[in-house]
Amino acid sequence: MHRQQSAFHAEQARHLQELEAMANKACETCGNSYDKTFEISIGGTTHTFDSFACAIHMLAPRCLHCKAAIIGPGMEARGQYFCCAHCARQWGIQEVADRAPDRGAAVP
Ligand SMILES: [Zn+2]
Ligand SMILES: [Zn+2]
């Protein structure tokens, strides 16, 4: 009777562990599964991550020229993303600028 009981507890513990694993979704980038993962919905799909670094790694657009992950607003031109005006210019896009024309005058 005692043996049966402990077998039951072991089974129950295993079941609880399984439930926990199901509740803790794994990060889609690194596979880490813990209780503070979060979801990001983008373009009609939802993704699970354990950290912002992992989310950026998978979801951030990449600069067409230098391949840097664009984690700020970035620039979009002709359907492509660029991290800065310099990179856009390397692809012949002249219309973007890092700063507005100020006639060379610095703020006093
Ligand atoms: Zn991760
Ligand atoms: Zn770039």
How many domains does the structure of the chain reveal?
2
Ligand nearest the Cα of residue 36 is: 1
In whole angstroms, what is the distance from residue 75 CA to residue 77 CA?
7
Residues 6+ apart with CB under 8 A from 38: 48, 49
44 located within any domain: yes
Distance 51 CA to ligand 2 centre (A): 24
Distance 30 CA to ligand 1 centre (A): 4
Ligand nearest the Cα of residue 58 is: 1
Distance 21 CA to ligand 1 centre (A): 15
* Model pLDDT for residues 15-44, shown as the tens digit of each residue: 777 666 556 789 999 999 988 999 999 999
Distance 87 CA to ligand 1 centre (A): 29
Q: Quick check: 1 pLDDT over 60? A: no
Structural domain including 38 reads 1-59
Share of the chain above pLDDT 90, in %: 60
Distance 54 CA to ligand 1 centre (A): 5
CA angle 8, 14, 17 (to 5 degrees): 145
108 located within any domain: no
76 and 40 housed in the same domain: no
* Model pLDDT for residues 38-82, shown as the tens digit of each residue: 999 999 999 999 999 999 999 999 999 999 999 998 999 999 999
